[in-house]
Structure 1
Amino acid sequence: MISYVTTNDGKVREAREYLADVRAVDFDYTEIQAAELGPIAAHGAREAFAHVGGPVLVDDAGLFVDGFDGFPGPYSAYVEHTLGVDRVGDIARRRAEETGETPRAQFRCVLAYCDGEGFAATPDAVDYGDRRGHDLSAEDRGTASTTDSIDAGDVPVKLFAGVVRGRIVEPRGEGGFGYDPVFEHDGSTLAEMSAAEKNAISHRGRALATFAEFYAER
């Protein structure tokens, strides 16, 4: 059984389209400040693993606007609650008009998986933590597992990324949440899509699909 650390029922429903044995766990892990999603999700996965004592999934996601070097990115939730979705959309579109560029953006999601064991070398990223990894060879990293000398802050975490590309538009649609009304993909905003349509192309769904392939062999 995988514990998906979230209070969002929609995330769990989406995960169950790819994974048979998954449950939601409400755990308030420390959300560190970082310029990328991976370290944030990895830190949360380590804390969650120490709390749950078994396989865990933690995700972090954000809207990355091309014209602003990816901002708001990892700070998307904070910016949504302070500046507001409509304001972010206005700023992105205004800058695009001034530069003559298309206001392109990406939704990105990183899933972090931890089960206390090491990972064989694969193309997928592995976060070995701040202490672990600097003194391990590549071969050792591939076969490392938890021991009495390694606490939950050191166990390796495997990362799976998903991206959906689109552009920033005037708000449209009544569905979804967050930045969905201002993010258009293939002619429709995410807020105009049904749940099934959105899940079929979502950044989280793409990360989950990659993870599910890995987990089937795990």
Structure 2
Amino acid sequence: MLNFVTTNPGKVREATAYLDDEVVQFDFDYPEVQADDLGTVAAHGARAAYRAADGPVIVDDAGLFIDAFDGFPGPYSSYVEDRVGIERVWRLTEPEDDHGAAFKTVIAYCDGEEFAATPEPIDREERRGQDLAADDRGGATTDEQVAGGEDALPVKLFEGRVPGDIVAPRGDGGFGYDPIFEHGGTTFAEMSTDEKNAVSHRGRALAKFAEWHAGR
């Protein structure tokens, strides 16, 4: 059984389409660290959730990365949406020459065990509620960061990405930035749930995770 840490039952339904194991919703309010990458946030949540669930967990973190703004808002997407709003994000992007963007999701998995080497990164840094300072991170990958002690829990990370463009808001469906994110000529807010799930960043991350998990 896999515990999907989320308050959104729709995410659990999406996960069951990729995973043979029973996926159950685990409602756990873990503290989110402030960090410049999704993997750091998701890994911290997965460790905290594993200790609370005492069983395998998956945690996801997602964000909108706008090319013209060097990937901002990224991990801060929810905060920017709440404080600025999606129409202002569009108006800020509109004058730029480059409207390219991407939605990204990182799935973090923790079961308390070590992982065999695969192309997907492993986060081994136990941050204890604090993000690494920029000088400490340097150019390190998640495999190269210094382990956070003997009790640090390794977390396996799987990223999904869908490219697109920032456009004027269109469509009545979806949520968040969906009305201003266009993929293949259609905004996410103009797609049905099935159409969106077929190309979604979360779905792509789940597919990678499911393939790896089935081979364990």
What TM-score, normalized by structure 1, do the two folds share? Answer: 0.87
For residues 62-141 of structure 1, the aligned pairs below 5 Å read 62-94=63-95, 96=96, 101-130=97-126
Any idea what the Cα deviations from partners look like across 1:40-96, whole Å, max 9, x if unmatched?
0000000000000000000100000000011110000001001011111110112x1
Identity %: 61
Unpaired runs of 5+ residues, structure 1, are 132-140, 142-148
Letter matched to residue 80 of structure 1: E
* Structure 1 residue ranges (4+ consecutive) displaced by more than 6 angstroms after TM superposition: none
Letter matched to residue 171 of structure 1: P
Secondary structure of 2:104's aligned partner: strand
Q: Distance in 2 between matches of 1:46 and 1:168?
A: 34
**What is aligned with 2:30?**
29
Relative to its length, the structure with more helix (as a share) is 1
For residues 1-218 of structure 1, the aligned pairs below 5 Å read 1-20=1-20, 21-94=22-95, 96=96, 101-130=97-126, 150-151=150-151, 154-218=152-216
Any idea what the Cα deviations from partners look like across 1:162-184, whole Å, max 9, x if unmatched?
00000000100011000000000
Matched positions, count: 195
Secondary structure of 1:209's aligned partner: helix
What TM-score, normalized by structure 2, do the two folds share? Answer: 0.88
**What is aligned with 1:136?**
none
Unpaired runs of 5+ residues, structure 2, are 128-142, 144-148
The higher radius of gyration belongs to 1
Letter matched to residue 109 of structure 2: Y
Offset of residue 129 of structure 1: 1.3
Q: Distance in 1 between matches of 2:9 and 2:89?
A: 26
User: Would you say the 8 A contact 2:67–2:98 is kept in 1?
Assistant: no
